[in-house]
Amino acid sequence: MNKYITAALVCSFSLCSFASEADKPAEAIKAPSSIQFLQPSTDAEAAPALSAEMLMEDCIGRFPPEELQLSGRLTKRRRYGIEMAEFDFVANVCWGTAEPYATYRFYSLKGELVDNVTIKRNAEGKISLSRDMKTPAGAQIPPPKINETILGSDVTWIDATMDFLWWKNPELVGKGDVKGRDCDIIKLTPPEPTQSCAYGKVWLDKAQRVLMQATQNDESGKETRRMWVRAVQKLEVAEDDERWVIKDLEVETTGSGHRTRLHFDDVKIVR
């Protein structure tokens, strides 16, 4: 698959609205109860059954191909909303090169660069990470591992790259409901042994084929991490071209007592 899904976690949602909610303490946060799509969920009942491979390809195909620039804030919170850490970020995403890539730059709230990582995916689907950061003594800091957390948050580079969407041999394991939407549940196995992740699951909306939530599970089947979309925003492309991208994404490490939100203040096409 010679496409790249950006670490900026951008989705080409075909939505007309998303119920927003006020900022609440982390323990009380709940995703909106429903999402209104342009097509009703029942439309999927008349659609022909697709294999897990076809469902995943369809999901990947809904990501916007344009070069994008995204900026926002990563916030790690304890229960009841106590903030533990905050970082601003800027991501430049490019799909139009021989080796598509995304670069992420994280900053302290004082504007100091604290991490600078580039993720590439080659034509065979293999992903590589590099880091352009040095120690005060001038030594090169090694690149992160794919399942390493970003700046001690709940978000890993698997989340940031959505690498799990390219894992091979997907298996359709059931159906479920997320925020009032009928979903297909697909099991995905990492190509290499990954700490705390024997396999993952994704919930894809049956009508729109977009990602609603995802989990990582250990060998016993216990859920170790969960990721879900809280809100979306419209991407300004043209008057007759409605596209929606993630505005708020939540990630929680099971049993940790904290979770991390990625909030996107600005998403724009680089022209």
| The pLDDT value given to residue 41 | 47
Q: What's the CA gap between 250 and 232, in Å, rounded?
A: 12
Structure tokens at 207: 């009508």
Helix count and strand count (H, E) for the chain: 2, 14
DSSP assignment, residue 19? -
Whose tokens are 């990470």? That residue is 129
pLDDT digits (tens, 9 = 90+) for 34-59: 444 444 444 555 556 789 999 998 88
Confidence at residue 37, expressed as pLDDT on a 0 to 100 scale: 44
Q: How far apart are CA 9 and CA 241, in angstroms?
A: 20
CA 90 and chain centroid, separation: 15
Mean pLDDT value across the chain: 79
Q: Is the pLDDT of residue 138 over 90?
A: yes
Q: What percent of the chain has pLDDT over 70?
A: 76
Q: What are phi and psi of 192, to 5 degrees?
A: -135, 155
Virtual CA dihedral for 179, 203, 10, 103, nearest 10 degrees? 140
Unique residue bearing structure tokens 């297909």: 184
Q: Phi/psi of residue 163, each to 5°?
A: -55, -30
Task: Please state whether the predicted TM-score (pTM) of the whole model is above 0.75.
Answer: yes
Q: Tell me the C-alpha distance between 114 and 116, whole Å.
A: 7
Q: Which one has a higher pLDDT value, 219 or 246?
A: 219
Query: Considering the chain, what percentage of its residues have pLDDT values greater than 90?
Result: 44
For residue 58, the surrounding DSSP H or E stretch is: helix 52-60
